[in-house]
Structure 1
Amino acid sequence: MDTFNYGEDHMTSGIALKLARKEIKGILNTDTQEKIKASALAVANIAKGEKTVYGINTGFGPLCTSKISAADTQTLQENLLKSHAVGLGEPVPIEISKLMLVLKLQALAQGFSGIKLETLERMLWMLENEVIPVVPIQGSVGASGDLAPLSHLFLPLLGLGKVHYEGSIVKTAEVFAKLGMEALTLGPKEGLALINGTQFMAAYGVKIVDRLHNLLVHADITGAMMIEGLMGSI
């Protein structure tokens, strides 16, 4: 099976779909892993120091002036996901959830967010083992990111929320118990890195581009058949 190196290779809409459909395998090569580790270490050092950096040891938005202790940084990041997981409505199609994971993996694998390698490896595990987060269709504000959909997408990292698994929608905790998996602990800035982004909108964009290509191909065939039917060729 062909492979795609997250964070290193160039991703197109076609590649994103192939990754979501498991037609090619996504990996994190050695160079990518080193970039991710270095970025995570930089954030961890900031969290342990006295320097104030937004989103690492401060609150968010209007609470940016509130200093967060090193001991509370984990709680801050986990509560960020919980507080923003307020979407409504039916779940988006499973392929949209898969595309969201694929696109987020590509973004985080660039090594600029401070995300831990362990977190990205769990996202890869979810894709490979068809443990796909349930994301409600309504709730995105878009302007500062798809905060609500992405929060639902990543609640399962904490063992929370629901997932699509073996043809059913079940609680993440039940799947983890069945598979012997443990919930992750988010490090400094990880919650912010996970939900700041537009992967909900981008996933739909990928599907639109795919449908457009499909329509263009069929338009060419239809046009050619029409010419043949009308005996329009000289």
Structure 2
Amino acid sequence: MQLAAPELVVSHRAAAWAWRIELLSVEAEFTDLGRVRQRKGVRVHRGALGAEEVVEMASFGGLRVTGADRTLADLLFCGPRDEALVAVDSALSYRTVTVGERRVRRAPLTRLDALAAALSSRSRGLDRARAWLTLADPACGSPAETVAPLRMHDAGLHPETQGELITHGGRLLRPDFLFRAQGVAVEIEGYAYHGRREDHRRDVARFNEFQQCAEVRITLRFTAEEVFHSPTTMINTVRRALGTADRRWA
């Protein structure tokens, strides 16, 4: 498509995919540097791009894509919120990604201050984009771990992310989310979890160790499927656990 129309620059979710940023969905998207002409099978956006906002990716045969900061800014301006923040959290942290047939560790692609600066170049929709950016959390380690606290935030629940706990044996643990006052820990399991026997063994041991923390009275575990497809059930379960913990503490 780009060879046939050089004025097109790969952008938005397509650019995020090229940067190996995790997403909830992928779509062929471009920004047209000339007159926007819609093309069958792709989404074309209108917008000006500075020379510093376009990168030629040698690993993709010289494909011209928006830079990481511009890509994330585009997603924050366009939404939806959850999809944008999944991409932002991924770009802000180390992630294991697929390169060819290998799984490799990708370093963070940007910083929060750089993203904030990228947003400031536009005015339309700026307040909403900035508000969404305040919800970004580099400590979230997967798309499900990004969406789960967003669902809790929308329900008025605000746990710590990766709050520190110490077991009776002195080991440091960091649950995905922690309601410290009520002693409720929440763990989110990704799609690929339990892929190996050793992964499953470590997960069971980790769950048991939470029970050895004086500050933890209840530990909840949710799968990625529950986070994405049954958020109401997840929130109701968390609310019941918080109420139960409060009664036990009282």
TM-score (structure 2 length as normaliser): 0.22
Higher helix share: 1
Higher strand share: 2
